[in-house]
Amino acid sequence: MTASKGTPLVEMRDISISFGGIKAVDHVSIDLYPGEVVGLLGHNGAGKSTLIKCLSGAYQKDAGEIYINGARAEINNPRDARHYNIETIYQTLALADNLDAASNLFLGRELVTAAGFVDDARMEAETRKIMARLNPNFRKFNVPVSALSGGQRQSVAIARAVYFNAKILIMDEPTAALGPQETQMVAELIQELKRQGLGIFLIEHDIHAVMDLCDRAVVMKNGQRVGTVNVGEVTDDDILGMIIMGKKPAAAY
């Protein structure tokens, strides 16, 4: 998987953002192609989540440009990002604990009746449909998501990203809170979405998951990009070296 196959789905050029004098992201450029999974790696505080939040609209970049399908994109808030079919699964899941699964899935994009009232019945029916595909064991449709297990909550967050025909998916440590079986489920889902031609940014700490799931990996350290590698061309020790010491192997660019 090389970087020379037409227009990238996403291109973030020279992105910088700082908080109170600290450069959280310092002139970083990354790109993503359709059907590709790009891993973002680095220590806590390396700037991975911050960089990706500029794409999902949660933060506003100080400098740099974002291109979607080759065209310059203005992303100033989460609504803009959704407009470009960018969906995000946050590390914190970003669920309103007091609402049920359907309300969370459609939050900000509620289905409404002709009279303009929220159509709870239709939203629940749609939620049942998508959950039957993603997590057939899911039964708790009429309780607040605070009553769900970690895996069930995760599947609600994933369903929200998948339901709205995302073209670009951002997953911030999607398996951090999951058991082995659920982790496997997420891995299979990523493979399936990839086959459907989605581009996925995957923030991940588990080096084995990166080696298994990602096509390319971008390593960040102290807000800067150490390098990018094609996962097939390097060993996990190479990547660990990049993360820990910022050492760039020969295969990196």
Partner 1 sequence: MSKSPQTSPATAPLAGATEGNPVKRFLAATEIDTRLLGMLGALALIWIGFHLYGAIVNGNGAFLTPRNLWNLSVQTSSIAIMATGMVLVIITRNIDLSVGSIIGVTGMMMGILQVDVLPQILGLGHWSIWIITCVVGIALGALIGAFHGWLIAFRGIPSFIVTLGGLMVWRGMAFIANGGKTISPVDSTFALLGGGPGGNVGAMGSWIVGLIACAGVVWLLVNGRKQRRKHDFPLRPMWAEVTLGAIGCGAIIGSVLLMNAYPLPKGILRQMGLPEDAFVSHGFAIPVLIMIAVGIGMTILMTRTRFGRYVFAIGGNPEAAALAGINTRWMTLKIFALMGALTGIAAVIASARLNSATNALGTLDELYVIAAAVIGGTSLAGGVGTIYGAILGALVMQSLQSGMVLIGFDAAIQRIVVGLVLVLAVYLDNLYNAKTK
Residues that bind partner 1 in the complex, under the rule CB under 8 A? 56, 58, 77-79, 82, 88, 90, 92-99, 103, 107-110, 112, 116-118, 121-122, 124-125, 144, 147
Q: Smaller CB distance to partner 1: residue 81 or 213?
A: 81
Q: Smaller CB distance to partner 1: residue 19 or 253?
A: 19
Q: Smaller CB distance to partner 1: residue 21 or 116?
A: 116
Q: Smaller CB distance to partner 1: residue 127 or 183?
A: 127
DSSP letter (8 states) at residue 247: P
DSSP letter (8 states) at residue 26: E
Residue 99 CB, nearest approach to partner 1 (Å) = 6
DSSP for 82-135, written as a single string = HHTTEEEE-TTTT--TTSBHHHHHTTTS--B-TTS-B-HHHHHHHHHHHHHHH-
Residue 95 CB, nearest approach to partner 1 (Å) = 6
Residue 94 CB, nearest approach to partner 1 (Å) = 4
How many distinct helices (H) and strands (E) make up the chain? Answer: 8, 10
Residue 201 CB, nearest approach to partner 1 (Å) = 16
User: In Å, how far from its chain's centre is CA 125?
Assistant: 26
Within 10 Å of residue 106's Cβ, how many Cβ atoms? 23
